[in-house]
Amino acid sequence: MAVKKILRYGEKSLREPSKEVHKVSKKIHELVQDLLDTMYASNGVGLAAPQIGVNYRVFVIDTSTNEEPLNPIVFINPKIVKKSGACKSQEGCLSFPEAYTNVRRYKNVTVKALDINGRPFTIEAKDGTLQARAIQHENDHLDGILFIDHCINRFDANNELAKFNLPPVEEDKLLEETELENELNND
């Protein structure tokens, strides 16, 4: 299909909740192909529809490494149904070119979604793997949540954002993650 322009942090639609997909139509197939083309062209690990200006509950990930064949996974109307454990990781986002900061994530997640053919599937991602973190990151985009909302230190995050001429963390969007914080402090 096509490589699309990725919206940058500060664009209003990145903060808007996305709509459910009612039918996996030709339009959704084209959207998925655009997401994959754009993600691969940008050397990304994942990309959500809102990042290309389409507020539908669709995202793609591919956590394969250089030595492995491409392994894209399509998530339509995903729902994280189980989460446990906590991990800290350094994250970035294609909507925040080159900016990275430490965030809190669940170590283990189970997600249910529809695939490109509209068939339901479940994935369990464990041990704080890239797949587990990518699923949470992209799923957040569908609810207008950005990775910096999970930042461990907003001052560090703001310094990083400033280096790349990006707006500062929106303090009213910071997530209170007491459960994750407590678990990380007990490790």
Residues assigned a catalytic role? 138
Nearest-angstrom CA–CA distance, 166 and 163:
8
Integer Cα distance of 60 and 45 in angstroms? 8
Secondary structure of the chain in HEC code, one letter for each residue: CCCCCCCCCCCHHHHCCCECCCCCCHHHHHHHHHHHHHHHHCCCCEEEHHHHCCCECEEEECCCCCCCCCCCEEEEEEEEEEEECCEEEEEEECCEEEEEEEEEECCEEEEEEECCCCCEEEEEECCCCHHHHHHHHHHHHCCCCCHHHHECCHHHHHHHHHHCCCCCCCHHHCCCCHHHHHHHHHC
